[in-house]
Amino acid sequence: MAYTAVIIGGGISGTLSAIALRKAGIDSIVYEAYDGTADNVGAFLTLAVNALDALRTLDVDISGLGFDTPRMTLTSGSGRKLGEMSYGTALPDGTVSRTVKRADLYRTLREQAVGCGVRIEYGRRLVDAEDTGDGVLARFADGTTAEGDLLIGADGLRSRTRGIIDAHAPGPRYAGLINTGGYAHGITLGGEPGMMNAIFGKRCFFVHTTHPNGEVWWMANPARATEPTPAEMAAIPPEEWRAWLIDLFRRDRGPAGAIIAATDKIFTGWKTYDVPTVPRWYRGRMIIIGDAAHATAPSIGQGGAMAIEDTVVLATCLRDSPGIASAFTTYERLRRERVERVVEQGNRTGGWKTLGPLARIPRDLIMSLGMKHMARTGNDPSRWIYDHHIDWDGPIRRSH
């Protein structure tokens, strides 16, 4: 059915929604709140095989970005190896999970969207929207408006669309963790390039992996029970971040301190949030997807993957359903249980990073026993996350 979609948000889910809709024969325009692109975003993310499989469905190739990171080792702060696991089974052609810079991913998606005829307008911050009966009308902070047959809110954690759909919708929940990281140079760690090394330190979680060119990519998650204000975060100078982090890892066995010391520029810190359950994903001709509907903590590397899967499923629902209402109902039926289960899994795993000294002992034992059981039986309890496949060419099972 021929529609024109208004997409709010030019991040991963918004830009990829436009690509997916175009493949489904549906036109769209992306409206991004910021005046420019995200090309200067410094952080990175790992896309597991389910995310890469969904991207492949949309003919998006990121094989030239980042590097393969097929496996992860888990180590305690004392240096004891707790186990090793994969980010899911390799795809039939051997494709494994891949770690990429966010800026490179944004750029690639934007170039593909523009290349297939999608228009992206910047500096258009949504303030309100309404269902006009036969369409939607979006109003922006600069006084301009946009009209379409439906509106997709891909506007992230602080989604304005979520509040328009349901004024009582819950907002993001602080997860008790701060994020920072960087890229270290001139340090040789040994080990296998592309192996993700997760260290559950005595006072802080740390993860690092080595690019084939020798650059070390790393992230740290200092725990802080009380949520700092934006002003407090902004007031911490780079060298204070460095000193704080090195002190947090001072009692650990491992390379965290040396990696941090070898990093020229440490990322400005940001807080970890999730959005566990949003009762209403849609109203009338408006719907939310990605982090706007179900943000997950980054502890299991599925935030981007869930947003990517969303775009594929929503496009197939709009393509195959007799109307927008039916498409939205079917989409929610196909997605809600899976994404909320992933959010809960991320919350449990993230909680392991915030444990105190006494709780860390049974945690490490449980993790070690679990890893040994997986190695012995080949039974990965997370397989349901990674083995998920969306059949673009098959008909969807519509809701009535």
User: Which H, E and C letters describe 54-110, residue by residue?
Assistant: HHHHCCCCCCCCCEECCEEEEEECCCCEEEEEECCCCCCCCCCCEEEEHHHHHHHHH
Q: Name 283's Cβ contacts closer than 8 Å, sequence gap at least 6.
A: 131, 165, 166
202 and 96 in a single domain? The answer is no
- The answer to whether residues 259 and 285 belong to one domain is no
Comparing CA positions, the residue from 278, 274, 298 lying closest to residue 288 is 278
Short-list 15, 277, 47, 211, CA closest to 122: 15
The 10s digit of each residue's pLDDT in 323-353 is: 999 999 999 999 999 999 888 886 666 555 5
Residue 69, domain member (yes or no): yes
Evaluate whether residue 392 is within a structural domain.
Answer: no
Say how many CA atoms lie within 13 Å of 263 toward its Cβ.
27
* 41-70 pLDDT tens trace: 579 999 999 999 999 999 999 999 999 999
Has residue 326 been placed in a domain? yes
Domain membership of residue 256 as a residue range:
173-273
- Residue 354 shares a structural domain with residue 205: no
Q: Tell me if 398 is assigned to some domain.
A: no
pLDDT average, residue stretch 272-300: 89
- Residue 108 lies inside a defined structural domain of this protein: yes
Asked if 141 and 194 sit in the same domain, the reply is: no
Whether residues 327 and 249 share a domain: the answer is no
Last residue of a domain, one of 251, 273, 295: 273
- Which uninterrupted H or E stretch holds 288? strand 286-288
Task: Give 22-52 as a DSSP string.
Answer: HHTT-EEEEE-SSSS-STT---EEEE-HHHH
Alpha helices in the chain (DSSP H): 12-23, 49-57, 102-115, 160-165, 230-234, 238-248, 256-261, 291-294, 303-320, 324-351, 357-377, 383-386
Residue where a domain stops, chosen among 231, 257, 273? 273
Backbone angles phi and psi of 200, in degrees to 5: -90, 85
Return the percentage of the chain with pLDDT > 90, whole number.
67
pLDDT digit string, tens, across residues 177-231: 899 999 999 999 988 889 999 998 888 999 999 999 999 999 999 988 899 998 9
Question: 377 and 348, same structural domain?
Answer: yes
Q: Look at residues 273, 289, 308 and tell me which one is the last residue of a structural domain.
A: 273
Please indicate, yes or no, if residue 395 is contained in any of the structural domains.
no
Residue 25 has pLDDT above 70, yes or no: yes
If asked whether residues 249 and 320 sit together in one domain, one would say no
Across 131-143, average pLDDT:
96
Read off the pLDDT of residues 376-386 as tens digits, 9 standing for 90 and up.
Answer: 666 666 788 99
What per-residue confidence (pLDDT) applies to 399?
42
In whole angstroms, what is the distance from residue 112 CA to residue 309 CA?
Answer: 17
Do residues 142 and 43 both lie within one domain? yes
Residues 87, 32 share a domain: yes
pTM: 0.91
Q: Is residue 228 part of a domain?
A: yes
User: Do residues 225 and 78 share a domain?
Assistant: no
Query: What pLDDT does residue 336 have?
Result: 96
Residues 54, 145: one domain?
Answer: yes
User: Tell me, what CATH number does 250's domain have?
Assistant: 3.30.9.30
What is the percent of the chain with per-residue pLDDT over 70, rounded to a whole number? Answer: 88
Q: Are residues 191 and 324 in the same domain?
A: no
- Which CATH number does the domain housing residue 348 bear? 3.50.50.60
Structural domain count of the chain: 2
